Amino acid sequence: MNIAHVERIAGELKLRPIQVGATAKLFADGATVPFIARYRKEATGEMDEVQIQTVRDRLEQLQALDDRRSSIVKSLEERNLMTDVLRAKIAKADSMTVLEDLFAPFRPKRRTRATIAKEKGLEPLADFIEANVQTHGVDVDGEAAKFVDTAKEVPDVESALSGARDIIAERISDAAEVRAALRKLFSEHGTVTSKVMFGKEQDAEAQKFRDYFDWSEPMKSIPSHRMLAIRRGEKEGHLILRIQPPEADAIRLIENLTVSGNTAASQQMRLAAADSFKRLLSSSMETEARMESKKKADTDAVKVFADNLRELLLAAPLGQKRVLGIDPGFRTGCKVVVLDAQGKLLHNDVIYLLGEGNSLIHAKNLILGLAMNYKIEAIAIGNGTASRETEMFINKIGLPKHIPVLMVNESGASIYSASEVAREEFPNHDVTVRGAVSIARRLMDPLAELVKLDPKAIGVGQYQHDVDQNQLKGSLDDVVISAV
């Protein structure tokens, strides 16, 4: 157990270290969240499931942070790049973002304009400019003239200065304090814009994203569902997504952090600062902003999905009642099953609600006959295609008033019907019958029926396939374990 982690989490969550420490030990011993919440209250000080899950998640995050910290230290030491100051900064880094910013200047780089300039021997000129930002009367052009060398492809003074600025621009883009300040600017003043892809204005598939053909909204306030929708439109090739703060504000921010005074050297620094944002930082910080906005949208959406699943699993069961289940359909008909009070299949049939009057008369007589012969106590209708039409038909055929007609969420029923579990239970029936059985059983006991499915198959949200699948699985698994 890492005592520093325990104390940090206790401070963040306003818990006592002894509570967090006891919880961490229980997790280390293999205990689950529901077990700890229900049977180890005396150890955790009555912490609820949400607090226990948060402790677990933070323990995992802090361990991942330490693992990355060790990896960075090892990389720097192996290349003899570690200094006492850098080691202290790495030790104090309290997030992955800060760690990666500290490591950025030392990360192996591909061949860039800055590395090419260094190969031409222009790094001392860049050092000279940075060292003389506040020095008046320094002849920057004269210093640059010393580096003119046609053999090195530096034909004139401006070429030398341009190369030096490339080096300075890359240094600025690697500076942790610059990246941290820009990150805040993107977060607080960045704008999400969405435009239709050129040539897709009339594309039929693109029309479902028409609302976002010309859309803009502050990054800090965009709802998760809208961000996920725009990202889906981009992924499908219909939209162009950008996240940017006002360019002038970004450049001014960089200048305030890297340039002071009004000298010949500071003029070169200002040119380098503007170039650093436009050419390097704008795209890299936008990538970070996209990742951060996606992470936030995923977290918000996953919470909604988890709440939806919890509501389905913990829906009040009808109990041991004789149920007639209907899986609605137009062309292939409505599949009808009768279950006894224990959920055993007693009868199955098909009715057709499209066609001539004889079909409807047959359907009416069949349902009424089944209701009477099997003493049906409730009717469950799946909420898929043709569900409303089926419900209206059933409500008009004159069933006894004591038989309720209820709509049931059928998400995942088709997946269950094709599963090995369903095939083993109903080897002599096809998938349509198994699906109708699942719908009827969901009314009788939602929890017992839904736990047979992968939680993601239940269909708990519109964008569940767009969010981080590992995060979604972990959250939904927690809900299932808790409910069971």
Backbone angles phi, psi at 182, to 5 degrees: -65, -35
Judged by phi (left if over 0) then psi (alpha if -120 to 50, else beta), residue 13 lies in alpha
pTM of the model: 0.74
Give the model confidence (pLDDT) of 217-265 as tens digits: 999 999 999 999 999 999 999 999 999 999 999 999 999 999 988 999 9
Q: What share of the chain is helix, strand, coil (3-state, %, to 5)?
A: 60, 10, 30
Report pLDDT for 484: 67
Report pLDDT for 132: 94
Q: How far apart are alpha carbons 349 and 363 in whole angstroms?
A: 10
Instruction: Compute CA distances 17 → 20, 35, 163, whole Å.
Output: 5, 20, 54
Q: What is the DSSP code string of 366-416?
A: HHHHHHHHTT--EEEEESSTTHHHHHHHHHHS---TTS-EEEE--TTHHHH
Report pLDDT for 458: 76
Q: Any alpha helices (H) in 405-463, and if so which ranges?
A: 413-417, 420-425, 431-444, 446-450
Q: How far apart are alpha carbons 132 and 261 in whole angstroms?
A: 10
Give the model confidence (pLDDT) of 320-348 as tens digits: 999 999 999 988 899 999 999 999 999 99
Backbone angles phi, psi at 249, to 5 degrees: -65, -40
Judged by phi (left if over 0) then psi (alpha if -120 to 50, else beta), residue 429 lies in beta
Report pLDDT for 1: 73
Give Cβ neighbours of residue 65 (< 8 Å, ≥ 6 apart): 93, 94, 95, 96, 99
Instruction: Compute CA distances 130 → 181, 259, 260, 466, whole Å.
Output: 20, 9, 10, 46
CATH class of the domain comprising 113-308: mainly alpha
Q: How far apart are alpha carbons 249 and 419 in whole angstroms?
A: 57
Superfamily of domain 323-444, CATH level 4 = YqgF/RNase H-like domain (3.30.420.140)
Q: Count of alpha carbons within 13 Å of 54, Cβ hemisphere only? A: 15
Instruction: Compute CA distances 442 → 6, 76, 461, whole Å.
Output: 42, 58, 19
Give Cβ neighbours of residue 95 (< 8 Å, ≥ 6 apart): 65
Q: How far apart are alpha carbons 378 and 400 in whole angstroms?
A: 10
Please say whether the beta carbons of 446 and 312 come within 8 A.
yes
- Which CATH number describes the domain made up of 3-106? 1.10.10.650
Report pLDDT for 27: 94
Please say whether the beta carbons of 347 and 429 come within 8 A.
no
Report pLDDT for 457: 73
The identity of residue 281, as a single letter, is: L
Would you give the DSSP letter of residue 1?
A: -
Q: How far apart are alpha carbons 129 and 111 in whole angstroms?
A: 23
Please say whether the beta carbons of 309 and 476 come within 8 A.
yes
- Of 54, 72, 287, 61, the C-alpha closest to 173 is 287
Dig out the tokens for 298 from the structure. Answer: 């995923």
Would you give the DSSP letter of residue 316?
A: P
Report pLDDT for 155: 96
Question: How does strand 239-244 pair with strand 334-339?
Answer: unpaired
Domain residue limits, the chain: 3-106, 113-308, 323-444
Segment (H or E) for 214: strand 214-218
Which residues in the chain show pLDDT less than 50? none
- Of 4, 18, 16, the C-alpha closest to 59 is 4
Q: How far apart are alpha carbons 254 and 281 in whole angstroms?
A: 10
